[in-house]
Structure 1
């Protein structure tokens, strides 16, 4: 029984436990978790506080001086050592105190150093918008941060900042804290503290004379001293001043009427007329400030007492600033002021960047014409302007080589204007008066900066592929997707000289990219903590892409659009870039980006008003040339080394795709281009391949038809025509017919005349493909010798073979004739004639002869050589021609019809417009009244005709 009772009790307890509410369990767990978190956070915060630095009164009075070192480790700037004037609280006017308190910390005089209400608002903002999106620092906290802590956004530092602010409020009065704050903060233009700022901006050393608008300006400046610089950005400062005035109204410091009256002020009218002299190296220091602030979470080179080691080459920096100045000995002749679209006179602006090609280290920055002050707009780093054709290697040709292994010979069709799909716009290539080149190589397209081939290349490569390539070398885009006009640098996306220099440096450095950098390392005060700020290099393209782009850009400088930037003796690559202004001639932007193995330089010139065109677009090239020449004059500049992945190949110009030249390709038609290894052409071009000569050429006289029947053989007559020519009695060879057949009939031949027949095989695809001529001779019987028939052929048939390699070369005083022959015992009958008239006949036993004496300048002589054997047999005669140098296109005398418009009463009508009343009509416009019609447009009143055997139709020649 006892066992049963115990069992029921256990069951009741189990049932009671199972009915316990679940929310109590959750609440218990939550409370335990919150307690654990609270203990953990408390312990962590206790640790943060225990490790906070001590309050050092010596650090409260003024900011530390940051020391800046050059590339060799030598000090070249000590920031914060000057431009500071201390002011006592009693010297601060109420209007300034009210403006500062309303803007920075409205409950400054009420809170104990930390404002709980501001912290609550900041916590909500940081939860909803991300950590660091809104701060809650009071003036006391800002003083603590600038005096004792790093500006990094860390919870540990924020806890220490609040702890030290509470301590500071225990040791110093509110007035003392505000006084220290206003003496410490940086106001831009090199001014530290409110007293110095009032002097720099308004020329006032007595703060009691500050007006309400001036006090509002000073209160608004510390938030962004460079951006709000009233000297350079008065409109932006006006907006900031109005915000401060509204805050003063909101917190009851001034009335609405007072604010409205103050907002009417013209900012420039308040400013001091004498600004400080331009700060040396200011353009470079701006870059240093930006890098340190970005990479070290807001660190300030002007207030944090840092040791900053940089990449500057002070000699290069000084020379760049000299070229941008108006000094009399500056070799660059800048244009004078021009009128902008608002009617104001404005001067040309310029910016340039010099990088070390091997490392990406910034050696010099030219931020503006005639120097810069702190906070000035930097045209080397801050502009975003259309880069024009400097984008072509970046957006089009670089991605094409990288992703599709195009060769520098790759053929592109420049056949614009090129329509942009889905748009009424067209891309033009502005060469001459709308001239387009047709099929060109990629090298030529880049050299001449043709727009249409670049646009087509981008489309073929693909927008996404091209954008990824460009972004990998530091180019940023305004839109998620690029457009077709990005290929020619004409889209909404812009670039700065710094970006372009960084991108081009990757081509100079075998495809290795890292962001251009001005700072190598930073050392913090007291702790001596050292931070390395060098960016890591990365291979972003193949070495073949970098080298092939470089090789083409060398051509662009040596032969193309960049000639004005060339430095003789330097292996130099580069590209021009200009932009167009719709509806206007001229360019509002001019660029040049280029490099050697040592330096990469990018330059820009233009105006703030982008509607103003440049009077001179060559100044960007001048800036590049003079700078590169100066930096390279005392050092060795090695040429770019071709990597193993690139092969040089000779190809036949005009082939599509690329083909190797044949043995017969003219030297003028052979170009050497670069190919990615494994992608070289293997097929040989047949365009200039010499055809085989005809075989078994025979010519026979047909007595019944009084004609000469010519026949020959040819192995393959497909796409081949045969040019048949003849000369009469050693005269000039005249074209008779062009036929696809292997036979021809020459009708109405002259009795007693000796005809030399010549046949040449010619390709129908290109007339440049032709065979060696084959000739034979036949004599027509005379009227008194009807039984005599002479016929010949090129293969003997009982006769000797013709001579070979017959050549003639003429000078003003002689004609050298040579030939070859296998039979050493043969003799040769040499006949010299001019315009169909035999001048000389001589028999020689040597394989050559020199013809001298009374050679007419400008005349063409025909030399016929006939071999003769010891048994009296002869071979067919073979002829060649030589023209004596000199003379003009004048009419001939006596029996010679002259060339080109000459007229003669002799036997032969001349070439060109020549006319002759003699036996033979000349070629061209020649006319003759005798038996044989000339070639071309020649006309004859005689009876010579040629008849093709296929249709037996007579054709007058």
Structure 2
């Protein structure tokens, strides 16, 4: 019983143990199955998600636009006469068709970039799988799998950033491209679109750029170099990185051998050739400078400023204001020493030439010896340099005439002076010249009168006046009145000065007048509208004063004989701190300007050095004037240049110098004390000066000959007493006697008399600044006769009986009714002569 029991118990245990093992095996299998299913469904989900994401990205891809597969359409630029002078394109590209592409180049490109090009449909699955593995093991973006088709898509439609979105769109569009175009057409697109370095696009362009030959003329080692560059164009540029370029070339040669495009012998031979051996030399690759770069640069700026057009790709016809003759001459002046001698190659200049009446830019000189395309343009970009005294018509005298109706004869005192805060202001010569007209103050470029004019009109009105003619100051301080503070470009300054020459009408300087879009029909007018910026009397009166700058002021060097020109010089100064820091010598300046105009053209010219620390020496400070003179002489040939026409709002009136307010001269005002000045109509003087009152002429002027003493006694009378003096002069037989001078007596004796001669004497009364009309008399001295009435001979003297003196009564005297008073030195009442030495080569002080 016990034995049976144990057996049953054992069997039960065994059965239970078997069931337990079975349960364990079943549970383990279930877990594995669950894991497998989970991974499968997760993978499926990811796969489906990937397909969905791909579909989503693909749906947002741009359309396959045929126009974008073609190279961007260049824009054409035409000059003022409608003549095409340049074509603008963002890329330097020479197009080559498939049947002209060398088979050797195709073999090199396909061996390097896409060996299964003719077998896939836009996406190389085998290469793609290898790239995926590389990206997993080495990080996303470590290796690409783009086919030539994908590269064409990327270069035509997509940005170069490596993202899943871009790759999805690229693959989708590549598939579509393969369906629409043949392999040969796609290969042609690739060869012409691919970036080769810098702005060099296309392999035909690269062949000419690096080797000076077409693709069909290149050797194997050169073909391999061209084919290998697209992977990293700048890194493999043989000009800049010959070592990297040679390594890349040799890889291409090895790949060509691997794919059986060349033999091993050909590969080894090509590898032995140094990469620099057949490249163009530095001199050979300089090429022709970009035509009219400074002007074209501004055209691009104007078109881009609208924000609507791309000059490089929109196929625009841009009609400009360029005068090719003026532009060529401007560039010739700046880039040689044949017209103007420059001190060195670092000396810079910016020139802006516009048409006075329209504001159209005729030429721009953006600098000297410039090699960088679209670099700094000294004609348009220079705004950090002070304007010097060229600002005086803009902030001082122009506003004073406009708002205060000053005449050109308005008196102003040049005297020791300070700014409102007590800071001392100096003239360029550190001297004062006393009372003078604003005309004289302007052509002599005196600083103190300029500041006084600015103070009279006020900073706000001065600022507004300048803004109306295109010169915008953020701030306005008294130092700006003589050229301190903020600056402006030569082009802006030319626009401002042109308004003076155009009766006060301002037109913003511009280089583009119209744009015709790619359709050939849509025409966009771009020229700015003209506006009235000042009264016509202001424009004309400032112009008339500025004409004197070129004839008797600081701008004589700029004058062109025979042309009616107005203009203004300008130089700037170093501060005391800068003089010490830069070791500046006395007379050196950082900037020298000249702005001038006639009825046809206006030009503004800046000269100096790029670095302010390098000064302009005294001998070079007139180069701006020399450039102006040569430019205006050249462009004015064979054209009529009219003088400026005085408007009806201006009257021309003679005034007596020194009167304040201005007065008309009296009948007795000496001619050298009279100047003709301009007045706003209705403000001209009516009062007559009494400075020079009537002074009665001497009377009873007689000349008596004393036979015995052989002398003539000249006598006269005058009613006035006091400090009256008499100016006496005479002639003998028409020949002027030695200077006799002045006397306070009413008689004078003349000895050493010549017989048979006629003496004429003139006497004028002098009282201070007043001088009377002259009174005259004549006497003829008789010859000595002998007893028989014979005339005196050389060998004996015969006495002649005394006869009555020969005189002419006052009412028969020869009267000099003019005001040509001999001996009058023209001194003004204050004792200073009105004939001043004109400044020459003086440096204007703008501090």
**Structure 1 length as normaliser, TM-score?**
0.52
Deviations 1:608-659 (A, max 9, x none): 0112111301111111111111111111111110000010000000111101
Out of 811, 818, 830, the position equivalent to 2:732 is 811
Shift of 1:348: 0.4
Please say if 1:563 is aligned against 2:561: no
The number of equivalent residue pairs is: 572
Tell me, in whole angstroms, the C-alpha distance in 2 between the residues paired with 1:599 and 1:520.
18
Tell me, in whole angstroms, the C-alpha distance in 1 between the residues paired with 2:335 and 2:230.
36
**What does residue 547 of structure 1 align with?**
540
Deviations 1:87-116 (A, max 9, x none): 9899799xxx9xxxxxxxx99999xxxxxx
**What does residue 640 of structure 1 align with?**
644
User: Residue 534 and residue 208 in structure 1: after superposition, are their counterparts in 2 closer, same or farther (change >3 A)?
Assistant: same
Deviations 1:169-197 (A, max 9, x none): 853479999x9999879999865589979
Shift of 1:853: 8.1
The 5-angstrom pairing of residues 513-552 of structure 1 reads 513-526=506-519, 528-552=521-545
**What does residue 456 of structure 2 align with?**
460
1:189 and 1:374 in contact (8 A); partners too: no
Tell me, in whole angstroms, the C-alpha distance in 2 between the residues paired with 1:444 and 1:501.
23
1:814 and 1:851 in contact (8 A); partners too: no
Tell me, in whole angstroms, the C-alpha distance in 2 between the residues paired with 1:393 and 1:324.
28
Shift of 1:835: 8.9
Deviations 1:849-899 (A, max 9, x none): 414489xxxxxxxxx999999xxxxx9xx9x9xxxxxxxxxxxxxxxxxxx
**What does residue 332 of structure 1 align with?**
340
User: Residue 371 and residue 197 in structure 1: after superposition, are their counterparts in 2 closer, same or farther (change >3 A)?
Assistant: farther
User: Residue 89 and residue 550 in structure 1: after superposition, are their counterparts in 2 closer, same or farther (change >3 A)?
Assistant: farther
Tell me, in whole angstroms, the C-alpha distance in 2 between the residues paired with 1:809 and 1:348.
62
**What does residue 315 of structure 2 align with?**
305
The 5-angstrom pairing of residues 825-840 of structure 1 reads 833-834=749-750
**What does residue 484 of structure 2 align with?**
490
**What does residue 389 of structure 1 align with?**
389
User: Residue 598 and residue 757 in structure 1: after superposition, are their counterparts in 2 closer, same or farther (change >3 A)?
Assistant: closer
2:327 and 2:364 in contact (8 A); partners too: yes
**What does residue 68 of structure 2 align with?**
59
Tell me, in whole angstroms, the C-alpha distance in 1 between the residues paired with 2:457 and 2:75.
49
2:229 and 2:236 in contact (8 A); partners too: no
1:186 and 1:303 in contact (8 A); partners too: no
**What does residue 282 of structure 1 align with?**
293
Tell me, in whole angstroms, the C-alpha distance in 2 between the residues paired with 1:638 and 1:186.
55
User: Residue 599 and residue 810 in structure 1: after superposition, are their counterparts in 2 closer, same or farther (change >3 A)?
Assistant: same
User: Residue 627 and residue 815 in structure 1: after superposition, are their counterparts in 2 closer, same or farther (change >3 A)?
Assistant: closer
Shift of 1:494: 1.2
Deviations 1:44-94 (A, max 9, x none): xxxxxxxx997532433422111111111111112229722789899799x
Shift of 1:413: 1.2
Please say if 1:428 is aligned against 2:404: no
Please say if 1:850 is aligned against 2:779: yes
The 5-angstrom pairing of residues 297-696 of structure 1 reads 297=307, 299-326=309-336, 330-337=338-345, 347-370=346-369, 373-384=372-383, 385-416=385-416, 418-422=417-421, 424=423, 426-431=424-429, 434-477=430-473, 479=474, 481-491=475-485, 493-526=486-519, 528-582=521-575, 583=579, 584=584, 585=586, 586-615=588-617, 616-690=620-694
User: Residue 410 and residue 73 in structure 1: after superposition, are their counterparts in 2 closer, same or farther (change >3 A)?
Assistant: same
Tell me, in whole angstroms, the C-alpha distance in 2 between the residues paired with 1:57 and 1:570.
59
2:426 and 2:448 in contact (8 A); partners too: yes
Tell me, in whole angstroms, the C-alpha distance in 2 between the residues paired with 1:172 and 1:448.
75
State the SS of the aligned residue for 1:760. Answer: coil
**What does residue 239 of structure 1 align with?**
none
Tell me, in whole angstroms, the C-alpha distance in 1 between the residues paired with 2:210 and 2:382.
25
Greater RCO (CA < 8 Å, at least 6 residues apart) = 2
1:815 and 1:850 in contact (8 A); partners too: no
Tell me, in whole angstroms, the C-alpha distance in 2 between the residues paired with 1:454 and 1:90.
77
User: Residue 169 and residue 437 in structure 1: after superposition, are their counterparts in 2 closer, same or farther (change >3 A)?
Assistant: farther
User: Residue 401 and residue 591 in structure 1: after superposition, are their counterparts in 2 closer, same or farther (change >3 A)?
Assistant: same
Deviations 1:790-829 (A, max 9, x none): xxxxxxxxxxxxxxxx99732377899xxxxxxxxxxxxx
Shift of 1:334: 1.3
**What does residue 302 of structure 2 align with?**
291
User: Residue 813 and residue 85 in structure 1: after superposition, are their counterparts in 2 closer, same or farther (change >3 A)?
Assistant: closer
Tell me, in whole angstroms, the C-alpha distance in 1 between the residues paired with 2:686 and 2:197.
66
Tell me, in whole angstroms, the C-alpha distance in 1 between the residues paired with 2:351 and 2:571.
16
User: Residue 500 and residue 216 in structure 1: after superposition, are their counterparts in 2 closer, same or farther (change >3 A)?
Assistant: farther
**What does residue 800 of structure 1 align with?**
none
User: Residue 815 and residue 483 in structure 1: after superposition, are their counterparts in 2 closer, same or farther (change >3 A)?
Assistant: closer
Deviations 1:336-374 (A, max 9, x none): 25xxxxxxxxx1011101111111111111111135542
Tell me, in whole angstroms, the C-alpha distance in 2 between the residues paired with 1:187 and 1:376.
23
Shift of 1:201: 12
Shift of 1:600: 0.8
Shift of 1:292: 0.3
The 5-angstrom pairing of residues 896-911 of structure 1 reads none
1:71 and 1:313 in contact (8 A); partners too: yes
Alignment root-mean-square deviation, CA: 5.1
User: Residue 300 and residue 283 in structure 1: after superposition, are their counterparts in 2 closer, same or farther (change >3 A)?
Assistant: same
State the SS of the aligned residue for 2:690. Answer: coil
User: Residue 403 and residue 145 in structure 1: after superposition, are their counterparts in 2 closer, same or farther (change >3 A)?
Assistant: farther
Shift of 1:430: 1.2
Out of 72, 79, 83, the position equivalent to 1:74 is 83
User: Residue 867 and residue 618 in structure 1: after superposition, are their counterparts in 2 closer, same or farther (change >3 A)?
Assistant: closer
* Greater helix proportion: 2
Shift of 1:435: 2.3
**What does residue 794 of structure 2 align with?**
none
1:195 and 1:207 in contact (8 A); partners too: no
Tell me, in whole angstroms, the C-alpha distance in 2 between the residues paired with 1:556 and 1:108.
71
Tell me, in whole angstroms, the C-alpha distance in 1 between the residues paired with 2:334 and 2:808.
85
Deviations 1:304-344 (A, max 9, x none): 221111111111111111111226xx22111125xxxxxxx
User: Residue 399 and residue 868 in structure 1: after superposition, are their counterparts in 2 closer, same or farther (change >3 A)?
Assistant: closer
Tell me, in whole angstroms, the C-alpha distance in 1 between the residues paired with 2:407 and 2:168.
70
2:73 and 2:315 in contact (8 A); partners too: yes
Tell me, in whole angstroms, the C-alpha distance in 2 between the residues paired with 1:639 and 1:308.
34
* Greater strand proportion: 1
Shift of 1:456: 1.2
User: Residue 831 and residue 401 in structure 1: after superposition, are their counterparts in 2 closer, same or farther (change >3 A)?
Assistant: closer
State the SS of the aligned residue for 2:312. Answer: coil
User: Residue 647 and residue 348 in structure 1: after superposition, are their counterparts in 2 closer, same or farther (change >3 A)?
Assistant: same
User: Residue 694 and residue 282 in structure 1: after superposition, are their counterparts in 2 closer, same or farther (change >3 A)?
Assistant: closer
**Structure 2 length as normaliser, TM-score?**
0.59
2:454 and 2:481 in contact (8 A); partners too: yes
Tell me, in whole angstroms, the C-alpha distance in 2 between the residues paired with 1:815 and 1:596.
47
Shift of 1:515: 0.8
1:414 and 1:438 in contact (8 A); partners too: yes
1:144 and 1:165 in contact (8 A); partners too: no
Deviations 1:566-614 (A, max 9, x none): 1110111111111112333212211111111111111111100112111
